[in-house]
Each structure stands twice: as C-alpha cells, then as structure tokens.
Structure 1
Amino acid sequence: MNHIFTTQRVVTSEEIDQLNHVNNVVYLQWVQDIAEQHWAELSKNNPQPDYIWVVIRHEIDYLQQAVLGDTITLKTWVGETQGVKSVRHVEIYKDAVLLVKAQTTWCLLHAKTLRPTRITESVINTLLPQK
C-alpha cells in the first residue's frame, strides 16, 4: 500500500442530521477535505501550479455511524494512477471501527486550459513518493 496520510477530527453539532448522526453529505465533504490536505502535504516541497484536480467519480460505502463528540480518524492513500486519472482511497474510523470507505477518481486538468491532461512523471512522483 502507498503512503497513508492520517488526520483526526471531532464531530460537531453542525455535522449532525435529524437522525442524530453524521449526515452522509458530511462524510463526502470529509473525503474531499482529506484529499486536498494530502495533496497539499505531498506537493508542499514540489508545487504543481500548472495542474488542478477535479472529481469525476465517488463511490462510498456507509458501514456504521458517528455521533456528536466522536473522535474520527480519516486515512487516505493514492491508488492506481495512469493517463489523466488517479484513484484515491479514504477510510473513516471511530476507534478501530470502519465507518465509511470511499474510492474517488480524480482527473488532472491543466490549470490554464481546464482540459484533461496526462499525469506527468513529476506529478506521479509527487503523488507516489518513494520511501
């Protein structure tokens, strides 16, 4: 498995729905947020200003629920990357219990033209740093 990026957060009242658990849209936002945080971490020493990432597909399995005050651990890593696409995996836990797993397909765009562009060796080296 590739480098795993991990972060934690505590569930806030704004993230709770009428069923008194974290709303499914909030999990989706967390998936987006950790992807952006991980890219920022990976690219901090090798900025890639010519490129931007856009989501073209989300697959999310909601397995368990989280409630107000729970401490949540989010983990992400980069999977298959080729052509113009890169797959990112996210798992969301409460303690050791897997709550949500997601797989998102991202497409690399050229920042000026906003057109899909092949993932360069430099971007691959940023996404998948050698150990």
Structure 2
Amino acid sequence: MSSIFDLQIKVKPEHIDILGHVNNVVYVQWMQDVATAHIETLGVGLKEYLEMKHAMVAVEHHVQYRKAAMLDDEIILRTWFNDINALYSFRQYAFFRASDKSLLFTGSTKWACIEIASGRPKRMSPTFIQAYQPLDIDTDPYAFTIL
C-alpha cells in the first residue's frame, strides 16, 4: 500500500498570468513535479527507470480548477495512487492553499508503462507494482488531519 505524498511550494512571479493568478498550465507542471518527487521517495524514480529500461509516461490527464492561487501563496501539492493494473497506474492530485486549507485544484493522471528504447507498452515490473500501490480505501486524502 502506498501513502499520501505532500510537497509544499510557494507561488512565484513566473507562475502568474496576465489575470494575476497562477496560470492553468502551471498546475499541470505541478502535477508532474509532485509525481516525480513522490516516485523518488518510493525508490522507483528516474534513475531506476533508466536502470530498468522502462518508465511510466502520462497518457491522460483530468483537471478541475476550483479556486485561484495567487503570488506568494504557500501551496500543498498532494498526490496518491488510487488504482493499478499490469499496464497502467492511476494517480490523483489535490492542491491546497496552506493558510486556509482551501482546495484549489483536483486532478488525475493515467500513467502507462513503456519500454524506453522502443516507446512501446510494457507490462509493469514487480518493482513498479510493489511501489505504486493504491491508497487504502479507508484513508481520506482530502482530510486536513494528515496535512
């Protein structure tokens, strides 16, 4: 079983768009950033991908923007796995403003396992399957008690 992973960041000027809030494409970058940080802590990060000669790549994103994030906001990027099978892992995201615990963003990504050299789909190795286990169904990833 995997766990919830949090990464705290601060909104910088380069994240802000012409409307004065975090640009929508920044949230997708943050999805990638927190997912990468999470897999590194699980011991199956980019270095291990290269050693195993296969990797997980994003094939589908779903996003929902709920509230705007502004310059200098402290943001908690939260992620967890919610499902896995032989070819795909499914990751969820919830981003919160730290000061008032407002839910700013939710999203999900379907990740596919590929062979790096060919780019072709590959069954996940036991290493991936063991590391990328879904969150226990009794755990509420939106609960503030685990922030």
CA offsets, 1:62-121, max 9 Å, x none? 000100000000110111110211111111000311100000000011123221111222
Two-structure CA RMSD over aligned residues (Å): 2.2
Letter in 2 for 1:93: F
In 2, the alpha carbon distance for the partners of 1:65 and 1:116 equals 37
With structure 1 as the length reference, what TM-score do the two structures score? 0.90
Question: Is 1:105–2:110 an aligned residue pair?
Answer: yes
Larger mean CA deviation between 36-45 and 111-120 belongs to 36-45
Note the residue ranges of structure 1 that are not aligned, 5 or more in a row: none
Higher strand fraction (1 or 2):
1
Task: Name the SS of the counterpart of 1:37 in structure 2.
Answer: helix
With structure 2 as the length reference, what TM-score do the two structures score? 0.81
Task: Name the SS of the counterpart of 2:117 in structure 1.
Answer: coil
Aligned length: 130
Note the residue ranges of structure 2 that are not aligned, 5 or more in a row: 135-147
Give aligned-pair identity as a percent: 34
Give the 5 Å matches for 1:1-131. Answer: 2-43=2-43, 47-48=48-49, 49-50=51-52, 51-95=54-98, 96-128=101-133
Match of 2:139 in 1: none
Task: Name the SS of the counterpart of 1:43 in structure 2.
Answer: coil
